[in-house]
Amino acid sequence: MCSSLCALLLVILAVHNVHAKSDPELHMTTPQIIERWGYPAMIYSVTTDDGYILELHRIPHGKTNVTWPNGKQPVVFMQHGLLCASTDWTMNLPEQSAAFIFADAGFDVWLGNMRGNTYSMKHKNLKASHSDFWEWSWDEMATYDLPAMIDKVLEVTGQESLYYMGHSQGTLTMFSHLSKDDGIFAKKIKKFFALAPVGSVKDIKGFLSFFAHYFSLEFDGWFDVFGAGEFLPNNWAMKLAAKDICGGLKIESDLCDNVCFLIAGPESDQWNSTRVPVYASHDPAGTATQNIVHWIQMVRHGGVPAYDWGSKENKKKYGQANPPEYDFTAIKGTQIYLYWSDADWLADKTDITNYLLTRLNPAIIAQNNYFTDYNHFDFVFGLRAPNDIYLPIVDICTKDYNGK
């Protein structure tokens, strides 16, 4: 989950504010933001085995000339969280944004977009206006989207493997896919860097904890209220809230910040309030209501189950009345680097220590990095993240790629 969820509350408060100043990035796409800062941007598409057409964004190189021993650049793939998009890795200033930091370090940077977000709204046969288009959750992202995007990147670059960095849901889908891997996919991932890693979400805190527990009693209510289709798309209302509240007077900007902290965790000293209008204009980037229901099912379940279709449909789909559990103890063959915090209310410390760390094989955990003051958003937008997280990861990948 990411800063996109702030807009769910902000749009309710949106009123026109004549004092608001509009940042041009509020209305730019990810490639346009990349080019705004003087970097090259490329767009690719890939079709999943179940017909969804996903858009990938690429920064093939940075502003500096970096020479690699074998003549080929290392590839890093960045995957956004729930209700987010590729934009998340580019929305701070260049020296603060992961995508630009890796590009300037000589990496070939690829940014993924899962089905149903702003950039992945197409299908071979279905239209986004039809409810059938939205019958999926992160199950399908892990099963279809993730391998399709990884294979496309490797095909274009001619590499056999890449470095993967995921945030929130971007870690959940990788953990889930690796748990069912026969060993072939794991060989394509040199190292897996998990920022705000998600397994169980039983112990999430804050506003979303109340929201999820309240609705977990009756999942059909979500479809009744929001419809069996798109949930929180990126539209004019969200951009209006971003401009007129987050970019308005100080009292309104502070309100915007505090709403976000109510969701992500306690306020930290690395929150850049001047960039909040940009964050809020691009997140939420949309997903399926069914995907949100799946997350709520996880809160009630306390583990990582597949989507619960109800006992009758489960028997047809899974051969059993209850959905099967993803077995994270089965993950092998990929080195994992964890980055988490006690101040994160979504990738909660209790869930990580009691669930994730008890199931992942210690032999594959290369690093277990614990921070005392990062909320959920800080792993992507925090001003200390470059020095605490991104640059150390650059160093790890550089040494690994150079065989040191």
CA–CA distance, 164 with 194 (Å, rounded to integer): 8
Catalytic residue among 80, 123, 282, 376: 376
Active-site residue, from 145, 344, 378, 388: 344
* 3-state secondary structure at position 166: strand
Taking each helix axis from N to C terminus, what angle separates 146-157 and 169-179, rounded to the nearest 10 degrees?
90
> Of 3, 86, 137, 168, which residue is the catalytic one?
168
Q: Is 168 a catalytic residue?
A: yes
Nearest to 382 by CA among 86, 102, 92, 170: 92
Long-range contacts from 359-365, C-beta under 8 angstroms, 24+ separation:
359/199, 359/327, 359/328, 359/329, 360/328, 360/329, 360/331, 360/336, 361/329, 361/331, 361/332, 364/331, 364/332, 364/333, 364/334, 364/335, 364/336, 365/336, 365/337, 365/338
Q: How far is CA 382 from the centre of its chain?
A: 15
- The 10 Å Cβ neighbour count of residue 399 is 10
Strands 287-288 and 230-231: antiparallel
Judge whether 45 counts as a catalytic residue: no
| Crossing angle between the packed helical segments 6-13 and 250-264, to the nearest 10 degrees | 150
Report helix, strand or coil for 76: strand
Residues forming the active site: 168, 344, 376
